Amino acid sequence: MQETKIVLPDREIPRQWYNIMADMPNLPKPPLHPGTKQPVGPQDLSAIFPMALIEQEVSTQRWIEIPEEVMDIYSLWRPSPLYRAHRLETTLGTPARIYYKYEGVSPAGSHKPNTSIPQAYYNKKAGIKRIATETGAGQWGSAMALAGSLFGLDVTVYMVKVSYNQKPYRRIAMETWGATVHASPSSVTNSGRNILESDPDNPGSLGIAISEAVEDAATHSDTNYALGSVLNHVLLHQTVIGLEAKRQFEIARDYPDVIVGCCGGGSNLAGVSFPFLRDKINGKELRVIAVEPTSCPTLTKGEFRYDFGDTAGLTPLVMMYTLGHDFVPPGIHAGGLRYHGDSPLICQLYHDGLIEAQAYGQTAVFDAAIRFAKSEAIIPAPESAHAIKAVIDEALRCKEEGKEKTIFFNLSGHGYLDLAAYADYLSGKLEDYEYPEEKIKEALSKLPSI
């Protein structure tokens, strides 16, 4: 029998997160206050974040201790398995070795609890009673709802309206864990009401939902905000994925030539790749590829400049590749990839040539998802399927060129609550959106000049 998966014992869950800011050739430029346009200080952020997370946000310390309480909860599903995709390799007839880390084993079905758990922990410790947050596809909202239930925090989720309607079971999962869920734009906040007034059928976007959640947190003293991607501390928490994978590759006596992750805000890509990027920064040969949708092509078509993280302009201005904060991406099924910007860490690494990016349309992505499901058995989340599409292309290139590369990707979540998307694909209803050039141009023209 061939070896298919490498599983580590609980005691090999990493005890520290890896902070790439200790090793990056260039650190990202500092976030700026939305009003004064001056660098934000810890005090500015303390209205919506606990100090422990603010400290992690700015830390340049290489290793950061994972609290024991967080380790205990991580052990419910971590370490996650590293699979060798033998069957996909055979189907493709490729000489490449394909591996994937499977984050769908978490109770919420994706990598998101790797950060929702520590975020809930630090907020609880700071005496916070409620968390307000946004969710695209519902993956992050479910992860936060789960974390809230484990730590006794109330959770309010603003869920992008198109996903709220496409994915009722995600909402039910959040409610099962005790969260309150609003379709965003909602009539609960000023930001939501303003948008609904001028555009009652607005499908919502992550940028809008973030505005609503930030406003909710900023206007309630017992409430903090939590973000499921983009911020440095979120990416930091996700490095447990890559740290485990490094150990698993040691056991497999292999090492990736190419690492692939889908990229919405950048957290799963960071998680899987940063511990390996440390080796690349130190001279090792390695390619890291971010995969995004052609309908929301942040890295491949965006501009590298300061922009707001949300639509209403309530968050700090961050230096990132952006399509413009009021760009509303088409309602593709990979809701978690519909964000106008990307993490400043990922953007800086992309800018410095340490990460590459590719974009695909959703029909090609679902073709790849089906191919994966039929060979490897797991039905992937539509977001993760973007990475699969890039991996299949890379593996077929290896076949053409007769190269035996090691390709590693993050299967960031399962798609069992995304079956409506598969139903659309199977019945030929899935639309491929054109690259929305005019809309992006218009949104970019409205960026603040710094």
Ligand X SMILES: Cc1ncc(COP(=O)(O)O)c(C=O)c1O
Q: Is 266 in the site for ligand X (CB under 6 A)?
A: yes
Cβ at position 404, least distance to ligand X in Å = 28
Of the ranges 264-272, 305-313, 322-330, 355-363, which one interacts with ligand X (CB under 6 A)? 264-272
Inter-CA distances, 44 with 39, 205, 258, Å: 10, 25, 39
Q: Is 263 in the site for ligand X (CB under 6 A)?
A: yes
Give the residue with the Cβ less far from ligand X, 255 or 416: 416
Residue 149: count other Cβ atoms within 10 Å of its Cβ. Answer: 17
Q: Is 308 left (phi over 0), alpha (psi -120 to 50) or beta?
A: beta
The encoded tokens of residue 321 equal 């590749």
Cβ at position 335, least distance to ligand X in Å = 7
Out of 136, 316, 324, 344, the only residue in the binding site for ligand X (CB under 6 A) is 136
The encoded tokens of residue 421 equal 């998307």
* Measured distance CA(85)–CA(96) in Å, rounded: 10
Of the ranges 93-101, 135-143, 147-155, 315-323, which one interacts with ligand X (CB under 6 A)? 135-143
Give the residue with the Cβ less far from ligand X, 110 or 248: 110
Out of 139, 156, 211, 273, the only residue in the binding site for ligand X (CB under 6 A) is 139
Cβ at position 290, least distance to ligand X in Å = 9
Of the candidates 274, 270, 281, the one whose C-alpha atom is nearest the C-alpha of residue 246 is 274
Sequence-separated (6 or more) residues with CB below 8 Å from residue 13: 71, 74, 75, 78, 79, 240, 244
> Is residue 265 within 8 Å of residue 343, measured between CB atoms?
yes
Q: Is 211 in the site for ligand X (CB under 6 A)?
A: no
Cβ at position 255, least distance to ligand X in Å = 23
Out of 215, 257, 383, 394, the only residue in the binding site for ligand X (CB under 6 A) is 383
Out of 6, 98, 144, 381, the only residue in the binding site for ligand X (CB under 6 A) is 381
> Is residue 276 within 8 Å of residue 249, measured between CB atoms?
no
Q: Is 283 left (phi over 0), alpha (psi -120 to 50) or beta?
A: left
Q: How far apart are the first and last CA of the chain?
A: 60
Q: Is 302 in the site for ligand X (CB under 6 A)?
A: no
Cβ at position 239, least distance to ligand X in Å = 13
Q: Is 143 in the site for ligand X (CB under 6 A)?
A: no
Q: Is 331 in the site for ligand X (CB under 6 A)?
A: no
**What single letter denotes the amino acid at residue 32?**
L
| Total residues at interface with ligand X (CB under 6 A) | 20
Q: Is 413 in the site for ligand X (CB under 6 A)?
A: yes
Give the residue with the Cβ less far from ligand X, 323 or 398: 323
357 DSSP 8-state letter: E
Sequence-separated (6 or more) residues with CB below 8 Å from residue 120: 131, 144, 147, 148, 150, 151, 153, 226
Q: Is 140 in the site for ligand X (CB under 6 A)?
A: yes
| Site mask for ligand X (CB under 6 A), range 86-115, x = bound | ------------------------x-----
Q: For binding to ligand X (CB under 6 A), which residues are involved?
A: 110, 136-137, 139-140, 229, 262-268, 336-337, 381, 383-384, 412-413
